[in-house]
Structure 1
Amino acid sequence: MHHAARTASIAVTVASALTLTACGGSGGDDVGADAKQTLTVWAMGAEGEKLVDVAKEYEKTHSNITIKVTPVGWDVAHQKLVAASAAGKLPDVMQMGSSWLGEFADMGALEPVDTKVFQKGDFFPAAWEQGTYDGKTYGVPWYVDTRVLYYRTDLAKKAGIKGAPATMADLQKAAEAYQDKAGTKWGLNIQPSNQDAVQSFYPFLYSAGGAVLDDNGKPVVNSPEAVKALENYAGLFKKGLSDKTFRPGYDVTKDFNSGAVPMFFSGPWTIGLIDDNFPDLKGKWAVAPVPADKASVSWAGGANLAVSADSSHKAAAQEFIQYLTDTKNQADWYQRTKDLPANTAAWKSGELATDANLKVFREQAETAKVLPAEPKGTEITAKVDDAIGAVTQGKSSAKAALDKAQSEIEGLVK
C-alpha cells in the first residue's frame, strides 16, 4: 500500500540545494561486492518488517555482508527520506514509493540503474516506468500493485446481476440493483475526498482515456475525457450509491462482510484480509477487471528499490537488489507478503500461475498506468485530490474543479 506523506515543499527545496553538491555520487570509493561490509536498507510498512527475515537468509550465503534493515512507517517515510537526503545520510538501498522517485532522482540523490544487469523486458511495463525519470532508470521494480473490482457474488444473484459489471454503465446499474433488490446500504465504495482519493479515481480516469499528465509529462487533467470521468465518479455519490463522507482509516472489508458495501476497488493484499478475517465469506465474492469505459485500465502502484548516489557499497547493493528481484525470490516474496511480483517470470509457476483471482490482477497489471515520475509528484496528486473532494461534496462542477487543478499543476511540473 502506498500512502505518501505530504511534506512542505520548502523542505524539498532546501534538500535539493544541499544535495546538488552530491550529484553524480562518489563512484570512486566503492568497496566492491566481495569486501566485508554492512549494507543499510530502509523499507516501508509491512515490507520493512518482512525484509528483515529475507536479509537474514541472504547473509547465510553472503558471509561477508551484514544487512541492517530499518523498517520505516509509510506516514513518516517521505519526510525521513527528504531529511536524510539533505544531511547526506541516505541508506545504501531504499524502497521508493511509487510517486517519490522523480523527486529524489531530480535532487541527484539516486544512482542510475545498470540496465545491462536489470532489463526492462523482465518487468511489467508500468513497474519499470515508475523507476524512470528524465529518460534514465533509477529504481528496479520490486513489487507491483494494481486495483481491481471486488464484488459479492451471492448478493449479485439476489440482485439479479449476471456476472461482473463489464462497463462503467454496468457498474452503476449493478450498484443500483444491489441497493434496490439485495437491500445493501450502498452500491459500492469509492473514496470521496482527502489524501490519495486520486488512487480511487484513477481506474475511472484511465478507463475513460484521461490522465493527470500525458506521456510527455504535460498536464492534461482538464481534458474532456477527464471531466467526463469525474462527472461519472461524482455521480455515484450524487445518486446515493456511495458514501460521500470520508472516514480516515476506514476498513471496507467489514462492510463487505456485512453486505453494507457489495463492491469496492482494491489491491491484492485485500484477498488475504478477507480470507483471514471473514472465512465464512468463502465462495461469496470474487474479483473482476476494472469495468471498461473506452478500455479497462487500472492504476499501478507498488515500489522500486533504489541505491543512494553517495553509497560506497554500490556493487554489494546491486547484488542484493538482483537477489530481491530475481524470479525465485520474487515468488518467495509473494508468499511472505502477498505483494505481487514485478518480475513477470515469477508468475509462471505455483499459486501465482494457477489462482483465478491472481490471474485478474496479472492481466490488469499488463495495461495499468502510472503517473510519470515528477519531482513534485506528491504535490501534483494533492491538487487532484482537492478537485475530487470539491466535486463529490457538491462545491464545484467537474470542469471548474479540473480547470483549477490544471492551472495549479502547470505551476508544479518540471
Structure 2
Amino acid sequence: MVRKVLLAVLLIAAVVSFAKTKIVFWQFMMDDALAKEVLAGFSKEFPDIEVEVVQLSWSTGFDKIVTAIAAGAAPDVVELGNTWVASFASQGVLREVDPEDVAKYKDFPGMNCAEYMGKYYGYPWLLGTRAMFYNVDLMKKAGLDPDDPPETWSELLDAAKKISALPGVYGIGLPAGEVYSPWQEWFLLALWGNGGDVVSKDLKTAVLNSSQNKETARFYQELSKYALKSKQKDLGEAFGEGRIGFLVSGAWSIGTLAQSYPNLNYGVCLIPRPDKPGGIHASFLGGEVLAIPTQTKNVDAARKLINYLMRPEVAMMITKHYPGVYPADPRAASDPWFEDNPLHLVFFEQLKTASPVPPTPAWPKIEDILTNLVDDLIVHYKDVDEVLEYYNAEIQKVLNEVK
C-alpha cells in the first residue's frame, strides 16, 4: 500500500514537472548574475514557469530580433528600445497589450513609448530622460541664488547673460555639429514645452513651421548668443571644468562628473519651461519597452513575467546597478535609494513631463533634418521663419515617402 502511494506521488510530481511552461526572454539590460537576482522572486512566485534569459548586445540586438521574427522563432518576451516600437508595430509582429494591462499602466510615464496609431504594443519598463545641470559656484559669482535655479525661459536667459559676463565662461552649453544631441539635448524638448511638435498627431503632416515653434526657435537663437556651441562630449568636459553655467544632459553625467570632476559644485533641476500659461518642463524620453511578439503561444506566462518585471521594487534592482534608467512605476520614488541619491530623484521627477519622439517609421530621417536645422539656427544664425519653412517642407517629403 505504501509503495502504491509513493508511486502515485512520484507520478504526480513527474506530471507537474513535465507541465512546466518554458518561456524565452530576450533583453539588453541584465547580465547573467543580475538576471538571476532579478528573477529569483519570480521563480518562487511562479514555480510552474521557467524563464530562459538571453542577453542581447546593442550593436547586433535589433538585427537579431528582426531575423528571429522573420524566421518564425521570436522569443516570448522581448525588450525593445522605445524608438523601435513603431517599426515593429507597423509590421503587425507585436501583440496588442490586453485592456486589463492598459488600464493598469496607462497613467505611467512612458506609456506613450509603447503607443502606435492609438493602440499599445508594449509596456514601459525602464526610462531615461534629460534634466538641467547648473554650476553652483558660477551662479554665486554672477549674483544668482543657486538654491533657486531657473524655472522659466526668461529666468534662464537672464542667468545665462549674467554668467556669460564673467571672464572665461559661457552661460550655457548648446550642442551642435553632430547627430542626435543638437535636438535631443533641448531644442526638440523646448518645442514640446511650448506646445509645439514636429509632426501632427496622425503622423501624416509636418507642423514644424507653427507659430509656437517659431517662438521657440527665436528664444533658442537668442539663448545661443551666450552659449558654448560644440559636441555634447566637449560640453560635458567644459561643464566639469567650470566653464559653463548650465547644461542639459542625461543622468549618466552624474557618474561621469563624480569620477572625473569630484570637486565640482553643481546641482540638477527640471528643464526650464516657457513663461506663458501652459508651458511645461518638457524633456526627452528614452526607454526600454517590454513586448510580446504575436508568434508566442505562451501569452499568459509572458504577461506574468512582464507584470512582475514592472513592479517598482523589481525594476529598482536594475536602477541600482545602472543608475540613469528608472522604473516607469511612479511608486519607485519612495525607494530609500533616492534618499541617498537626490540628484537622481530630479531625473525621476522629470519623467513626468518627458515625451518620446513621434512614433513614425520616418523618424530616423527626420532626426537628421532636425540636426541640420539646429545648426542653421544657432551656428549660422539664419532667419527663423526661412529655416523652419524650409525644413518643414523637407520633413513633409520624408513623411510622404512612408504613406
Task: Indicate how the Cα distance of structure 1 residues 91 and 51 shifts in structure 2: closer, same or farther if over 3 A, else same.
Answer: farther
1:101: how far off? 0.6
Q: Which digits, 9 at most, give the CA deviation of each residue in 1:165-207, with x for residues without a partner?
A: 22223323322322322632x3322221432232122222112
Q: Distance in 2 between matches of 1:153 and 1:386?
A: 33
Within 1, Cα distance between the matches of 2:94 and 2:268? 37
Kindly indicate whether the alpha-carbon contact (under 8 Å) linking 1:189 and 1:243 is maintained by their aligned counterparts in 2. yes
Quote the Cα distance in structure 2 between the aligned partners of 1:56 and 1:272: 27
Deviation of 1:395 (Å)? 8.0
| Worse overlay, 86-95 or 54-63 | 54-63
TM-fit CA distance, 1:149 = 0.6
Answering whether residue 198 of structure 2 is matched by residue 212 of structure 1, we say: yes
Deviations 1:67-109 (A, max 9, x none): 2322312x54444443443343433322222222111011011
Structure 2 gap ranges (5+): 1-16
Q: Which residue of 2 aligns with 1:289?
A: 270
The amino acid that maps onto 1:139 is G
Q: In the alignment, what sits opposite 2:217?
A: 230
Matched residue type, 2:97: V
Offset of residue 252 of structure 1:
4.5
Query: Tell me, what secondary structure is at the counterpart of 2:393?
Result: helix
Residue in 1 that maps onto 2:351: 365
- Counterpart of 1:82? 66
Q: Distance in 2 between matches of 1:321 and 1:51?
A: 16
Name the residue aligned to 2:95.
Answer: 111
Name 1:402's counterpart in structure 2.
391
The one-letter amino acid of 2:354's match is A
**Matches of 2:334 and 2:18, distance apart in 1:** 32
List per-residue Cα deviations over 1:346-368 (Å, max 9, x = no partner): 22332336854344334322222
Q: Distance in 2 between matches of 1:354 and 1:343?
A: 19
SS at match of 1:374: coil
Taking a change above 3 Å as real, the CA distance of residues 121 and 207 of structure 1, as seen in their structure-2 partners, is same
Q: How does 1:17-166 map to 2 (within 5 A)?
A: 35-36=19-20, 38-44=22-28, 52-54=35-37, 57=40, 60-61=43-44, 64-73=49-58, 75-117=59-101, 119-121=103-105, 123-125=107-109, 127-162=110-145, 163-166=148-151
Q: Which amino acid aligns with 2:92?
A: G
Alpha carbons 1:146, 1:368 under 8 Å: kept: yes
CA distance in 2, matches of 1:106, 1:159: 52
Offset, 1:145: 1.9
CA distance in 2, matches of 1:343, 1:97: 18
Partner of 1:12: none
Q: Distance in 1 between matches of 2:287 and 2:32?
A: 17
Q: Residue 274 and residue 146 in structure 1: after superposition, are their counterparts in 2 closer, same or farther (change >3 A)?
A: same
Q: TM-score, normalised by structure 2?
A: 0.81
What does residue range 290-369 of structure 1 map to in structure 2 within 5 Å? 290-293=271-274, 294=276, 295=279, 296-338=281-323, 339-352=325-338, 356-369=342-355
| Corresponding position of 1:172 | 157
Q: How big is the shift at 1:155? A: 1.6
Return the match for 2:374 from 377, 380, 388.
388
Unaligned runs of 5+ in 1: 1-32
Could you state the TM-score of these two structures normalised by the residue count of structure 1?
0.79
Give a deviation string over 1:364-405, Cα, whole Å, max 9, x none: 222223334223333333332332234344285432443333
Distance 1:101-1:307 versus aligned 2 partners, 3 A rule: same
Rg bigger for which structure? 2
Q: 2:365, 2:388 → 1: CA distance?
A: 20
Change (3 A) 1:367 1:56: closer
Q: Percent identity of the aligned residues? A: 26
Cα separation, 2, equivalents of 1:412 and 1:50: 45
Instruction: Tell me the residue number matched to 1:190.
Output: 174
C-alpha separation in 2, matches of 1:122 and 1:50: 32
Change (3 A) 1:226 1:156: same
